[in-house]
Amino acid sequence: MSCGVVLAVSLLLSDPNVALAAAQPPAPVSAPVSVAAEPLFADIVTRSGALKGVVQGWIEAGMMNQADFAAGPTFTGFKAEAEALAASDMQGHLILKQRGTDSDLKCILRGISEDIPKKVAAFEAAATPAERRLALDELAYLLNDNVEVITAPPQPEV
């Protein structure tokens, strides 16, 4: 069994929002429909916004100046939440793919799901305050992008 199928099944069994999102009928081809109000996507927006707020707070507090911050319990908890968010983004991608949509959102969600762990790892690997600051800035940007791509009004396909 492929890893993707195992991940999809485990997420489907663990998050009721996934089952609700998967049960939504496909949108008519003629009218682009926003998914922002669907439970899974609304949850992604909420969690992304909250995690971005955490990262912004760290930037403002100068946490990038603490060399051991990434090894502490605060960051470890954040990392787990970020990984769960990345899994939800991938689930959103799979649901949109299952619906047969060719929208950019499907591809963007997949990219975000792959990039969140990379940005977290970049912060963990950063050796200097400047590198840690850059990693936090990029993570905040990615989390904000996650909110904006879901809440943006849908555009007709070209």
Task: Compare 104 and 11 and report the one with higher pLDDT.
Answer: 104
Is pLDDT above 90 for 147? yes
CA distances (Å), origin 68, targets 74, 79, 100, 132, 154: 11, 15, 45, 11, 42
pLDDT range class, residue 26, cuts 50, 70, 90: low
Quick one: average pLDDT of 18-33? 64
Give the integer Cα–Cα distance in Å for 24 and 61: 42
Is pLDDT above 80 for 87? yes
Q: Which residues contact 144 (CB under 8 A, 6 or more apart)?
A: 48, 52
Q: Which residues contact 137 (CB under 8 A, 6 or more apart)?
A: 59
In the block, which residue shows the tokens 């990219």? Answer: 111
pLDDT in the model for residue 33: 77
Average pLDDT of the residues of the chain: 87
pLDDT in the model for residue 144: 97
* Phi–psi pair at 2, nearest 5 degrees: -70, 155
Is pLDDT above 60 for 8? no
Please write the tens of the pLDDT for every residue from 106-128: 999 999 999 999 999 999 999 99
pLDDT in the model for residue 27: 57
Task: Compare 120 and 31 and report the one with higher pLDDT.
Answer: 120
What is the pTM for the complete model shown?
Answer: 0.79
Is pLDDT above 60 for 74? yes
pLDDT in the model for residue 35: 92
In the block, which residue shows the tokens 């499907």? Answer: 106
Two structure tokens written together for 86: 């990345």
**115, 116, 117, 136: which is closest to 126 by C-alpha?**
136
